[in-house]
Amino acid sequence: MQVLIVDDDPLMAELLETLLSGTRPDLHIRVAHSFQAAMSAWQSLTKPVLLLLDWSLPDGDGLTLLKTIRRHDQTVPVLIVSGRSDRESVTAAAHYGVSGYITKPFEPALVRSRLDKLLPAPGVSAGRTVEEVLREELEHLTRLSGHTDSGSILELMAEAEKLSADGLARRWQRDLALVARLLDVANGVSLRRSGEPVNNLRDAITVMGVDHALQQALALSLDASAGIDISVLSHRARQFHGLSLAIADKASELARAMGLDERPLYLAGLMSRVGEVAVLDVLQRHIQQCGELTEQQVDRYVQAWAQEYGNRLKVSWKLPLAIRELSGATHFLPKGVASRDKLAMRLAAMLVAGQEDTEECQRLRRLAGLSEDKVDEP
């Protein structure tokens, strides 16, 4: 498998090459230190699986190189590694479908984690069936290709009472996508309350509160749609992520109406479609290596594998059993289950799906002790 590193600093290029070869010794790595050398190297590669790209080059810039490459290859993952961290640069790169943006200086562990997400799994090849790829990926699945590792966010949520806005701000200050999300949400809250804008990450977390900031970070980490750019998959990824957000919001609303703690229900809602998104994540890497899939094939693989992928991730992330069961209740509620929190989760999923007029939905309302005027329909 072929990878191209483009960086005008030989020491930085060597560091990236070392990180890559240490992560995956099966890679064939090419290095270029200029725009022209990068174009020549790119044209000589047969089917590259990754491009690591610096922004500033002596005879051009990385964005122009990215534009040129995207005219010929819309799917190859591109990781920007640059000293530029302004929002305009990040936004411009995102427009051309980058899979990640890391600012210099960086922590090697961060680069390794991004590489783990972007590189095809060992053994993925055109000779393997989709079922074989899905089975192999399932065996070592630990994360999604989101902006932030969901497992690390869940670990923080488990000790939220010990965290401060200062501590989270220091931890997250280099995650530009997360910083942008938290500033956007906090400004919405602050402008409603005081009319004053929020201009830094610490203040954003203070305005939102640690719990809300962690929820937003988890929601962003579960959104793999930013890295899924193949048309047959991207719409479905956005759909599933949006569905999980809607279920989380509705579950919170129902919890308040029923006098329940809304925090575990919101978390369970966020996790409710993680299996579907994980399958799409794997299918993208398969398509990049092995060719196209039809919409019908994608839907069939998602339906067949989503439950196993969701369960594997939730166990890998050490999600408490109670939360896993609440999340599972959004899909299916066995007869005889009278737990009010599970009733709320199943009811939330049905309301979001527009099934409020069905006999089953009305039965769940009665079991939950909810009248029509206690729950607003979506």
* Sequence ranges of the domains in the chain: 2-119, 129-146+226-378, 151-221
| Cα→Cα distances 304→134, 162, 332, Å | 10, 40, 15
- Binning pLDDT at 50, 70 and 90, where does residue 89 land? confident
Q: What pLDDT score does 143 carry?
A: 75
Residue (of 140, 135, 143, 139) closest to 314 by Cα position: 143
* CA nearest neighbour of 30 among 12, 54, 13, 55: 13
Predicted pLDDT of residue 83: 83
pLDDT at 36 over 60: yes
Amino acid 49: pLDDT: 83
DSSP line for 54-112:
-SEETTEEHHHHHHHHHHH-SSS-EEEEES---HHHHHHHHHTT-SEEEESS--HHHHH
> What average pLDDT is seen over the chain?
85
pLDDT at 6 over 80: yes
For 213-233, the pLDDT digits (tens) are 999 999 988 887 767 878 889
Q: Do domains 2-119 and 129-146+226-378 have the same CATH topology?
A: no
- Does pLDDT of 308 surpass 60? yes
Share of the chain above pLDDT 90, in %: 39
Report whether pLDDT(79) > 70.
yes
**Which of the residue ranges 236-250, 328-342, 343-357 would you say has the lowest mean pLDDT?**
328-342
The single-letter DSSP state of residue 47 is S
Report the topology of domain 2-119: Rossmann fold (3.40.50)
pLDDT, position 373: 56
Q: Are 176 and 145 in contact (CB under 8 A)?
A: no
Asked whether residue 268 carries a pLDDT value surpassing 90, the answer given is: yes
pTM: 0.65
pLDDT at 132: 84
DSSP one-letter string for 273-292: THHHHHHHHHHHHHHHHH--
Percent of the chain with pLDDT over 70: 92
> Which residue has tokens 């299916």?
332
Q: Is the pLDDT assigned to residue 125 strictly greater than 50?
A: no
With respect to CATH, is domain 129-146+226-378 assigned 1.20.1300.10?
A: no
